Amino acid sequence: MITVLGLFKEWACSITEALLFSGDTLVLYTDGITESFNAAEEEFGEQRLIEALRRHRELSSQALLGSIVDEVKQFSPHEQYDDITLIVAKCRGNY
C-alpha cells in the first residue's frame, strides 16, 4: 500500500518492526523512482530498482544513492514530472 505521509487524518495501515544488522541497507523511495517512464512508456518499476540495489549494494550510502538516481535518469532521460526521492541508510554495527 502506498500513501502520502501526513496527508490523511486517519489512515489504516500495519506497523511492523524489523531489526537491522551490520551490513543491512534500508532504502526508502517515492513513486517518482519506480514510476519513471522510458520512451516505450515502460515504468522503471520495483524490479529494476531491486536489481540496481543488488548490483550496487557494496557502495557507500551516498554512492549507492547516486548510482540508483543515475540509472533512473538513464532509463527515463526526459524531464521528470514527479519527484525523485531516495533515502539510503546502511547499518554499520549492532547496538
Q: What angle do CA 47, 93, 61 make, to 5 degrees?
A: 40
pLDDT of amino acid 95: 57
Q: Establish if 85 belongs to a structural domain.
A: yes
DSSP-assigned states of every residue in 28-86: EE-HHHHT-B-TT--B-HHHHHHHHHHHTTTS-HHHHHHHHHHHHHHHS-S--SS---E
Q: Establish if 48 belongs to a structural domain.
A: yes
Beta bridge partners of 37: 43
Q: Establish if 18 belongs to a structural domain.
A: no
Say how far apart CA 18 and CA 24 lie, in whole Å: 11
Q: Establish if 47 belongs to a structural domain.
A: yes
Cα distances from 13 to residues 1, 9, 10, in angstroms, run: 8, 13, 10
Please list the ranges in the chain whose pLDDT falls under 70. 1-6, 94-95
pLDDT of amino acid 94: 61
What is the 8-class DSSP label of residue 9?
A: S
pLDDT of amino acid 53: 96
Say how many domains are in the chain: 1
Residue numbers of the domain that contains 55: 25-90
pLDDT of amino acid 5: 64
Q: Establish if 15 belongs to a structural domain.
A: no
Q: Establish if 10 belongs to a structural domain.
A: no
pTM: 0.79
